[in-house]
Amino acid sequence: MAPSEKNEIENFIRLLSKLPGLGPRSGRRAALEIIKRKDQLLTPLRESFIEISEKIIVCENCNNIDVISPCSICTDVRRDESIICVVEEVSDLWAIERSGAVKGYYHILGGVLNALDGVGPDQLHINNLNKRIKENQVSEVILALSATIDGQTTMHYLSDLLQNDKIRISKLAHGIPVGGELDYLDDGTLMQAIVSRTNTD
């Protein structure tokens, strides 16, 4: 194998190893499998990567990722406009959507408050959340944040910020373990946590 060819393969392995759940060894195994199945995997993946890199955009309303803005969720008129479910990341939105428990709309914060990492309210999509609540007939905000310290700190901050007589502020209930992240929960547990949600006060 020529040195340049080896460098290209090593670079491919290095990039795969950066993906969540993959390390150097698993990245190497994944790379080898993809390369061995060039027609079935490598070529379709290449074409898909090019296509998605050209079309993917962030929703101007909820910060979801899609190929249109507003996204397909925000433009779905069948949804309940009185409910906004607030989540930390896109992966949390996908997890809740998979459970089918939320019939309203979403708002992605883009993270949680973390003083050590310098993440304050200005670094999150909180102002846009306030704007959406005021401009729409929202009667409930579901704070579907992870049961981590930072997630709960963010929940309390938002609960105090958004609290008024016209809006119910609720949080996830049963089945969410302390320190648990939503993306790792099974659909049944997540659905039960949303259905059994309680007020934050």
CATH code of the domain in which 42 resides: 1.10.8.420
> pLDDT tens, 159-196?
999 988 789 999 876 555 545 566 656 666 666 667 66
Quote the domain boundaries for residue 157.
Answer: 79-199
Q: Is residue 68 part of a domain?
A: no
Total domain count, the chain:
2
Q: Is residue 50 part of a domain?
A: yes
Whether residue 157 sits in one domain with residue 85 = yes
Task: Give the pTM.
Answer: 0.78
Whether residue 194 sits in one domain with residue 160 = yes
Q: Is residue 138 part of a domain?
A: yes
Buried b (16+ CB within 10 A) or exposed e, 154-174: bbebbbeebeeeeebbbbbee
Q: Is residue 96 part of a domain?
A: yes
Would you say residue 124 has pLDDT above 90? yes
Would you say residue 3 has pLDDT above 60? no
Whether residue 190 sits in one domain with residue 97 = yes
Percent of the chain scored above 90 by pLDDT? 67
Q: Is residue 71 part of a domain?
A: no
Whether residue 51 sits in one domain with residue 90 = no
Percent of the chain scored above 70 by pLDDT? 84
Whether residue 171 sits in one domain with residue 87 = yes
What is the CATH number for 111?
A: 3.40.1360.10
Q: Is residue 38 part of a domain?
A: yes
